[in-house]
Amino acid sequence: MGIISLVPTRIRRRFCGSVTRRRLLTFGFLVVFIFILFHESSIFASSDDKPQINDRRILESDNMVVVPQIVDMSGAIGQGSEEHKAVKHSKQIAGLGSDNVKKEGAALANGKRDERKPMVNEESPVTVVLVICAARPAAIRNHLEQIIKLRPSAERFPIVVSQDGNIGTVTSVIKEFVNESAHISFIHSSLPLLQHAIRTDENSATAKAAKNYFFIAQHYKWALDKIFFEMSYDTAIITEDDLDVAEDFFSYFSATRRLLRADPTIWCISAWNDNGGSNITDRSRSDSLYRTDFFPGLGWMLTADLWKELSPKWPSTYWDDWLRRQDIRNNRACIRPEVSRTAHNNKVAGKGTSGGLYKKYLASIHLPESPIDFSLLNLSYLMKDNYDRVLKKRLNEAKEITVESVENLSVPSAENSYLVVYRTPREYRRIAKAVGLMIDIRSGMPRTAYYGVVTFMLGASRVYAIPASLNVNKNFTSRPTSDFYIEDWDKMTRYLDFQETYCKPGKFAGVCDPKNPELVEWFRKKRLTKRLQSWGEMIVN
């Protein structure tokens, strides 16, 4: 029987029972340990204690994890790399922004859910497409045919068409598409109809343009109030009737939607690149996305929470420039693509509110040749800390060249990236005109700028135009982005436009100063005094 047989039976039973209990406890702890270990391994993509570049958890949790190491975003702001190709095939898992799911669950638990509101489900979220139109029947037909054909799901992307004005042919076209089962509805703005009737006696070109911008701003507010406050949608993509859309338009917005909730410094997603001309973009990298301080518009997405902030103070006119104001933007950025996912259809657009001013430039912006499945991309590089870290690295690696080199369209080697410094609006204009960037500046910002940095292709080389106030050797990304914009540059740029328009051979040959009495008299003699006044305040530079 051995030694154990020498122990009294009563003590043996107690001992064995104690051993059994200890074994059960040990087994239980072991099961719990294995469960925790398995759970951790399912959350993290590597054995390290922090997410890695291909980690699917990066865009998954409610509390966004900022990746500590440099995430390669070479496709967006630098050279190509194998790392980027690996990231490209790392599919994101839905679930980011699940605060909305929690809110919806609480509402259901309290029996307070608004039946009109689409159920928020981050696995298949609902994003309404708001189509803004007014007076172009061919344009609205073309646009609706495209988005209906391309949307992957009628349930996930319901369409609401909002018409301003009383053009019957436009209304008739829209009604051809309205279909409840296809989730296509029509709202018609009635208040601006009265305003149209009152103001049609303003006949000058300037008055008509100003009037149209007024109507557009009011229409936007009315329609956005409708879809967010009455229809209770959570997220909206806004399009306009004169836009063509890319085959991957919905893929782009589906994938980037999560960023609006993951990063509070991102307030909109735009399908448009203001500097999207074919000769200054890398069309081989149409998967590349960027942050921009300059609101792009022209096919853009926002949340209901943002609209609650904007609606009470929405401007009466020039709503897009209002969104570019530093006090409205509040150091937030939009996401925009390297290659635009929207394009102006000039055949159906007419002159538009700009009077055809940008028609030639807009015609140079084309949709991508082939679609990208954005659901396969790891977009965590667009989070501010990640993006800023890599931007700083790229700027440090770039070789400096002069404004004259850009004007001569020459760089030492196509294998390098380059940096060119602009010190004044005039210098920026020289760079912009040389390569084909848009030359206007709003709220101190060039189009597509981020920290004042505007990137473009010069031949096969990536170039970064940076303001003189940005020191790449210092931690500039710790400063607010608004620090790098001087709002007086708007007035200085306006003067440059004025100078190019009037102070040239065949027009005014004297001192080009809007306050110069000789110039004022020149305008008076030509009966253009009101036109001079319409330029507003300018700063000679």
User: Which residues are identified as catalytic?
Assistant: 320
Strand pairing of 159-164 and 128-133? parallel
As a whole number of angstroms, the distance between CA 503 and CA 492 comes to 15
Q: Which helix (H) or strand (E) holds 342?
A: strand 342-344
Q: Give the side-chain half-sphere CA count within 13 A for 449.
A: 29
CB 270 within 8 A of CB 236: no
Distances (CA, A) of 375 to 210, 254, 266, 324: 41, 8, 19, 29
Distances (CA, A) of 367 to 147, 283, 286, 484: 14, 10, 10, 31
Neighbouring-strand partners of residue 240: 132
Q: Give the side-chain half-sphere CA count within 13 A for 193.
A: 9
As a whole number of angstroms, the distance between CA 44 and CA 57 comes to 6
CB 449 within 8 A of CB 329: no
As a whole number of angstroms, the distance between CA 205 and CA 158 comes to 37
Query: In angstroms, how far is CA 470 from the centroid of its own chain?
Result: 23
**CB contact burial 1-21 (16+ within 10 A = b; e otherwise):** eeeeeeeeeeeeeeeeeeeee
Neighbouring-strand partners of residue 421: 466
In sequence order, which residues have a C-beta less than 8 Å from that of residue 90 and are 6 or more positions away? 54, 56, 376, 377, 378
Q: Which long-range contacts (CB under 8 A, 24 or more apart) does 168-176 make?
A: 169/137, 170/133, 170/134, 170/135, 170/136, 170/137, 170/140, 172/137, 173/137, 173/140, 173/141, 173/144, 174/133, 174/140, 174/144, 176/141
CB 132 within 8 A of CB 220: yes
Strands (E), 168-241: 184-189, 235-240
Strand pairing of 445-446 and 441-442? antiparallel
Give the three-state DSSP class for 405. helix
As a whole number of angstroms, the distance between CA 216 and CA 353 comes to 9
**CB contact burial 471-486 (16+ within 10 A = b; e otherwise):** ebeeebeeeebbebbb
Strands (E), 191-247: 235-240, 243-245
Tokens in use for 193? 């109809």
Count helices and strands (H / E) in the chain.
21, 16
